[in-house]
Amino acid sequence: MSFAAKQQEKQGTAVFVSQDDSTKIEVGSIEQSSAVYGDRWTRRLLKLGVEDRGVQPVPVELRTDTQLFKIFFIWFSWNINILTFSAGTLGPVVFGLGLRDSCLTILFFTLLCCIPPAYLCTWGPKTGMRQMIISRYTFGYYGVIIPCIFNLISMLGFSILNAILGGQALASVTTNLSWTVGIVVIGVISLLVAFCGYNVLSWYERIAWLPVVIIFIIALGLGGNHLSSPPPTEPASASSILSFASTLAGFSITFSGLSSDFTTYYRPESSSWRIFLYVYSALAVPIITLQCLGAAVVIAVPNVPEWQTGYEGGDVGGLFEAMLRPTGNSGKFLTVLLSLSVVGNMAATSYSASISLQVFIPWLVSIPRYVHSIIATVIVVALAIVGAHRFYDTLLNFLGLIGYWAGAFVAILIVEHLYFRRNNSDNYDITTWNVPHRLPSGLAALGAGFGSLALVVPSMHQVWYTGPIAKHTGDIGFEMAFALGGILYVPLRWLEIKIQKRL
């Protein structure tokens, strides 16, 4: 697409021009300011290849990518990091589970909870729309703002946790570097990738995973003898297993709020099964492997004095530095590389956050996407510095809560797509993506979501609250949100369609 065509797009009408400028396709109104794109800095960034597209649907003519393998590496690099490792430590540390029970819980619930985000990724090529824009066809133009807020909280929360871990690992290498400085360094590096957009992000993720995998293998080789004989533990209660499972659900299923953000440039006829399998395996393999490793290592910590010293105060970065210390100075270098493992996660998350901000506050569409990446990074770094010294409390409370909204959100989206829109992408009119009166009111989706709270709240088990159902079963709030949200949505949506007389 020529630069002139981009100018036309931003000035109000989405007119896309083919390479020979002979074909024009109108897609709809795009609310962006031409003044912004008259700026010489913006022109320069566009020429350098920085992606400016935010929430605007990608027209068929620009959905040309055929390299489906790239989506595998985006999600694989996203999850091959020390935060994934840390989530696995919660089973033994917080819920008192042994290695066997921790690993079985991780295996089963991760395999289950990776299905929704992998499935939603298949919608991107067919619609050309980002995940929260697709959600407007269920929650409405204004109603989607509520799940968008939860999605932003989830994304920024994960980035905060990653920044804390990356900063801790970086600071563990030398006493001259504080956690705060480490967090800032990690944040700046992540911003550089997210700022540039999809092309740079997908290139970075294709190579970022390799050194991280090598480091984890080295750490396992050095400390493997300490992991071979885990101490015996009491049989786990169903309550502990379900509560840990709820935390794991919060780790995996919340990716559903940004799934299709990374598949909108693929050709519409791209194989949905291939995309699903690429994403599913890229999620499940690193999450299961690293979370099980995290559980095994943290169980062994009391038996290894050096590990125990490094892990003091829940410092996962210090733990890895202790594990890699036998390699001498090379261990410090490996720890630095390991601290950078969070960059792939933070950059991708910041990229999606920059898009979701434009859905949350629609008039922000007049500001280029990359500006929002800067805003998201500043928020993450500031909050990470504040929460750095309470990592485990932050991790537990955060993961325990975010799974609830995601459960209802996913169920409602899937029911809308499979039942009401007959699993047919043609039933999404791309020209109405930003026309409120031609989208659903969203009352049915919001009613189902909030209605699910009737069973979610009694089924919650958190540090600060335990519901009457959860006292007997453990935390089953996520399961209740998914089941009740989907069930309630069917009659409410039928009523909404009857009143509005359209989808």
The model's pLDDT over 265-297, given as tens digits with 9 standing for 90+, comes to: 999 999 999 999 999 999 999 999 999 999 999
pLDDT at 315: 80
CB distance 154 to 402 below 8 Å: yes
Query: Which of 151-155, 177-181, 389-393 has the least mean pLDDT?
Result: 389-393
CATH number at residue 305: 1.10.4160.10
Structure-block tokens of residue 431: 């020209």
How far apart are the C-alpha atoms of 111 and 8, rounded to whole Å? Answer: 45
| Mean pLDDT in residue range 418-428 | 96
How far apart are the C-alpha atoms of 411 and 405, rounded to whole Å? Answer: 10
pLDDT at 41: 75
Q: Domain check: are 25 and 167 in the same one? A: no
pLDDT at 24: 34
How far apart are the C-alpha atoms of 368 and 473, rounded to whole Å? Answer: 48
How far apart are the C-alpha atoms of 216 and 234, rounded to whole Å? Answer: 29
Structure-block tokens of residue 34: 């031409």
How far apart are the C-alpha atoms of 218 and 293, rounded to whole Å? Answer: 13
pTM given for the model: 0.89
Buried b (16+ CB within 10 A) or exposed e, 56-67: bbbbebebebee
pLDDT at 65: 96
What phi, psi does 464 have (nearest 5°)? -95, -5
How far apart are the C-alpha atoms of 367 and 42, rounded to whole Å? Answer: 11
Q: Per-residue confidence at 228, pLDDT binned at 50, 70, 90?
A: confident
pLDDT at 18: 34
Structure-block tokens of residue 146: 């509520």
Cross-strand partners of 17: 24
pLDDT at 190: 96
Asked which of 404, 422, 438 is the last residue of a domain, the reply is: 404
Q: Per-residue confidence at 235, pLDDT binned at 50, 70, 90?
A: confident
| 8 domain-assigned | yes
pLDDT at 392: 61
Percent of the chain surpassing pLDDT 70: 90
Cβ neighbors of 114 (< 8 A, separation 6 or more) are 252, 280, 283, 284, 287
Question: Residue 36 sits in which domain range?
Answer: 3-47
pLDDT at 44: 80
Crossing angle for the helix pair 82-95 and 99-113, nearest 10 degrees? 130
Helix (H) and strand (E) counts for the chain? 25, 2
Asked which of 361, 380, 404 is the last residue of a domain, the reply is: 404
How far apart are the C-alpha atoms of 235 and 474, rounded to whole Å? Answer: 15
Q: Domain check: are 30 and 88 in the same one? A: no
pLDDT at 20: 35
Asked which of 349, 380, 404 is the last residue of a domain, the reply is: 404
* Residue 94 or residue 433, greater confidence: 433
Q: Domain check: are 251 and 371 in the same one? A: yes
The dihedral through the CA atoms of 306, 308, 311, 312 has a sign that is negative
| 456 domain-assigned | no
**Secondary structure of 389-446 as H, E, C letters:** HHHHHHHHHHHHHHHHHHHHHHHHHHHHHHHHCCCCHHHCCHHHCCCHHHCCCCHHHH
**Alpha helix positions (H), 265-313:** 272-300, 305-310
pLDDT at 281: 98
Q: Domain check: are 106 and 148 in the same one? A: yes
pLDDT at 396: 66
Q: Domain check: are 106 and 135 in the same one? A: yes
pLDDT at 156 over 60: yes
* 232 CB burial (10 A radius; 0-12, 13-18, 19+): exposed
Q: Domain check: are 14 and 143 in the same one? A: no
pLDDT at 422 over 50: yes
How many structural domains are present in the chain? 2
Q: Domain check: are 94 and 143 in the same one? A: yes
